[in-house]
């Protein structure tokens, strides 16, 4: 019998470097769900990783402290913890702090100490020109660049990132994520291509309540990074996904652009296509390419971007990385593989492959512009397509 394992893998490599697994689940009604289904779904794509990175982002997981910024910090030494806590007390009112509960997991070796701090900027730090979000982001960058062996890996309100070195299911076991609840969950299984596997380098990447999980390789990292540094962002991870997270924060939060426009900046048509568009569309994309050209993402990618009230799945325009979307009642799924969605939700109302370069956007009911759409603004590509109506 012919060895089928070698037909698509002539070099008999155990893994393929183009692989990572990403998964997202959002209940647009706001109902909270435990981590069980998401852990099951991402575990089904175990072969897409190699155990060097796994992680989850959860929204709505700290309802009792929803108004506080939840800082998740990993430490590799006691001295780094002591120095960081002195710094935090200087600039924040710490309303509660604790070691994040973890559980013995045989596959997890030599983890850092992980703590969480629920904080508010001190009043003397607040300025009418600088928002609380900017102040928190500034302190996050300061810790990550100035305190050795300390790294802030989550800093939003009523949400948290949990990640580390291991397969996703092992990271979930380590943090006990089956007992966490959220209305948005994203997950990632990593196969590092250009950076070493370490706890801070796992996905999701996060700033404030923005998180990004990513499958692919973005060759425009240098141009993206230099543009972001002009606006005060400090890229410490030397990885393409970090710049995507900061770019979303800059464009959506600071420049207040609609998320549809942000995705058009990431993957606009090529100039030859733009030249053939009608006047309004052509002028729209010409403006984006001229103003935000350095934030165009070159290379193959599939990303899931999340923040409170919204989850976005997006790929490059020629779909060099896989993405599938599904809908079941109020729940929107997106995944690298349809099998992972079907495993936890066999009877879907709809399942489809998104058009390359046109985001699938799920929004919380009750907020302005609630829709589940594929496409974007009418002037930004495809007409919005309502799903499930």
Residues carrying an active site annotation: 20
* CB neighbour list of residue 291: distance below 8 Å, 6 or more residues apart: none
Q: At 154, which helix (H) or strand (E)?
A: strand 150-154
Q: Rounded distance, CA 102 to CA 41, Å? A: 22
- Token couple for 47: 């072969």
- Token couple for 51: 């155990």
Cα distances from 349 to residues 22, 29, 312, 314, 374, in angstroms, run: 21, 16, 19, 21, 16
Q: Rounded distance, CA 281 to CA 338, Å? A: 33
- Report residue 314: phi and psi, to 5°: -150, 145
Q: Rounded distance, CA 265 to CA 89, Å? A: 39
Q: Rounded distance, CA 47 to CA 269, Å? A: 33
Contact by Cβ (8 Å): 48, 213: no
Contact by Cβ (8 Å): 215, 291: no
Q: Rounded distance, CA 351 to CA 269, Å? A: 26
Cα dihedral 102, 106, 112, 114 in deg (nearest 10) = -10
Contact by Cβ (8 Å): 74, 150: yes
C-alpha Rg value of the chain to the nearest Å: 20
Q: Rounded distance, CA 255 to CA 253, Å? A: 6
């Amino acid at each position: 019998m012919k060895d089928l394992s070698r037909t698509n893998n002539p070099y008999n490599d155990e893994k393929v470097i183009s692989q990572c697994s990403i998964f997202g689940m959002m209940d647009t009604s706001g109902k909270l769900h435990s981590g069980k289904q998401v852990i099951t779904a991402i575990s089904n794509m175990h072969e897409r990783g190699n155990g060097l990175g796994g992680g989850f982002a959860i929204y709505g997981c700290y309802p009792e402290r929803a108004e506080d910024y939840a800082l998740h910090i990993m430490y590799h030494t006691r001295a780094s913890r002591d120095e960081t806590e002195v710094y935090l007390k200087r600039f924040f009112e710490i309303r509660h702090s604790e070691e994040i509960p973890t559980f013995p997991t045989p596959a997890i070796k030599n983890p850092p100490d992980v703590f969480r701090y629920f904080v508010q900027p001190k009043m003397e730090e607040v300025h009418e020109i600088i928002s609380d979000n900017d102040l928190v982001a500034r302190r996050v960058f300061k810790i990550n660049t100035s305190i050795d062996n300390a790294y802030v890996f989550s800093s939003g309100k009523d949400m948290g990132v949990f990640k580390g070195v291991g397969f996703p299911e092992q990271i979930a076991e380590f943090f006990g994520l089956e007992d966490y609840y959220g209305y948005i969950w994203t997950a990632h299984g990593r196969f590092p291509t250009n950076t070493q596997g370490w706890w801070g380098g796992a996905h999701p990447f996060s700033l404030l309540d923005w998180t990004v999980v990513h499958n692919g390789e973005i060759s425009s990292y240098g141009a993206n990074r230099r543009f972001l540094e002009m606006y005060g962002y400090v890229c410490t991870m030397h990885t393409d996904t970090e710049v995507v997270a900061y770019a979303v924060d800059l464009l959506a939060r600071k420049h207040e652009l609609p998320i549809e426009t942000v995705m058009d900046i990431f993957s606009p048509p090529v100039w030859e296509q733009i030249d053939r568009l009608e006047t309004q569309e052509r002028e729209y994309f010409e403006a984006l390419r001229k103003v935000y050209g350095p934030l165009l993402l070159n290379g193959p990618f599939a990303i899931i971007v999340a923040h409170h009230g919204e989850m976005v799945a997006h790929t490059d325009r020629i779909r060099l990385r896989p993405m599938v979307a599904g809908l079941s009642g109020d729940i929107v799924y997106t995944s690298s593989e349809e099998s992972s969605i079907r495993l936890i939700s066999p009877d879907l109302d709809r399942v489809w492959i998104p058009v390359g370069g046109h985001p699938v956007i799920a929004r919380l009911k009750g907020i302005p512009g609630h829709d589940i759409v594929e496409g974007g603004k009418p002037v930004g590509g495809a007409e919005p397509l309502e799903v499930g109506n």
